[in-house]
Every structure is written in structure tokens, then in C-alpha cells.
Amino acid sequence: ALTGSGIGMWDWDLVSGSASYSPLNNRMLGYDAGELGATFAEQAAKIHPDDARTMQDKVEQHLRGETASYRTEFRVLRKDGTYAWFESRGMVVEHGPKGEPRRMIGTHIDISDRKVNEQLRRDLETALRRNRDELEAMVRQQTQKLVDAADDAELGHRAKNVLLANLSQVASTMAFNLMI
């Protein structure tokens, strides 16, 4: 059922450090059975340097009993040199006589497609914001041009009225002078 759902399994013996991974877990990274290594440390070494500390912190929090389960997302190196995004979940399933964690099991899900889509969405949102800002700036600029044109038209209208008033005054004066 897990394989059919695209979920890889892992099982980590905390005492010995040995770990095992389901065949699907290996295939998601392009490895054949046994190629990933037999310890948690070998697998953890493939985690992207920017994500390794967060992943380790989440594991340690869970091992200290601060969380009911472990969950994190990280990039892990594939055999071909590219990185896959994994969502990793797990929990301690066996404790020692003093309550110390002894065994942890969990799952890996390849969420690379989701991460690509999330980045695409962020890029589109950024482009939309940029386009909206540019459009708003253009609207402000064009609005100012219209305001300036309306002001110029008003000044022209006033100048025309003054000219007509002056012409009317001159015409009246001329007519009056002709009558005298």
C-alpha cells in the first residue's frame, strides 16, 4: 500500500545507528537497493547543506520528547546529482528501560513537484505585483498628464475670455468713438 502510494519507508536503530530504507525510498533518489548506505549518517550526508541543520534539529526535538512525532521537509541529493524535495515523517516506536529512544521509523514522500509548483506560484505572484505596480505608476502618470492638460485647457479658456472681453471693450470704444 505504501509503495503504491509513492511513500518510501525508513527504519532507524538509534542504538547502532544502522538504518534501512524501502526499495521505493531508494528508487525515488535513483539508487538501487543497498546503494544508499546502511546508516542514518550516510543518508543524512546526502541532505542539502542548507536543510541539514533544520532536519537534525527536528529529529533531536523528537528524540528529546518535545514533539509527538517528527516532520520536516528537506532536499536530498539524488544519484544523478540533482536534488529531490522530501517530506519526512516519523516517530520513536521503541524505548529502552529508562525511556530512552531506541528505534524510530518513518516515511519519505517525494514532494519535488509540489515545491516546483510553490516556487512557480511565488514567481507568478511576484510578477503580478511588479506588473500591478508598473500599471499603477502608468495610471498615475497618465492621470497627471490629463490633469495638466485640463489645467492648460482651463488657462486657455480664461485667456480666450480675457481676449474676448478686451476685444469687446475695444469694439465698444471704437463704436462709441464712431458715433461721436
Dist CA 80 CA 71 (whole Å)? 26
Dist CA 24 CA 2 (whole Å)? 9
Of 16 and 178, the one with more pLDDT: 16
Of 105 and 35, the one with more pLDDT: 105
Q: pTM here?
A: 0.70
Split at pLDDT 50, 70, 90, the class of 4 is confident
Split at pLDDT 50, 70, 90, the class of 58 is very high
Q: Is residue 87 predicted with pLDDT exceeding 90? A: yes
Average predicted confidence (pLDDT) for the chain: 90
Strands (DSSP E) contained in 96-155 are 101-110
Split at pLDDT 50, 70, 90, the class of 30 is very high
pLDDT digits 0-9 by tens, 126-176: 999 999 999 999 999 999 988 888 888 888 888 888 888 888 887 778 777
Dist CA 153 CA 160 (whole Å)? 10
In 3D, which of 72, 68, 74 has the Cα closest to residue 93? 68
Of 73 and 173, the one with more pLDDT: 73
Q: What is the mean pLDDT of residues 34-58?
A: 90
Dist CA 74 CA 62 (whole Å)? 17
Phi, psi of 21 (to 5 degrees): -130, 145
Dist CA 107 CA 88 (whole Å)? 6
Q: What is the mean pLDDT of residues 99-118?
A: 95
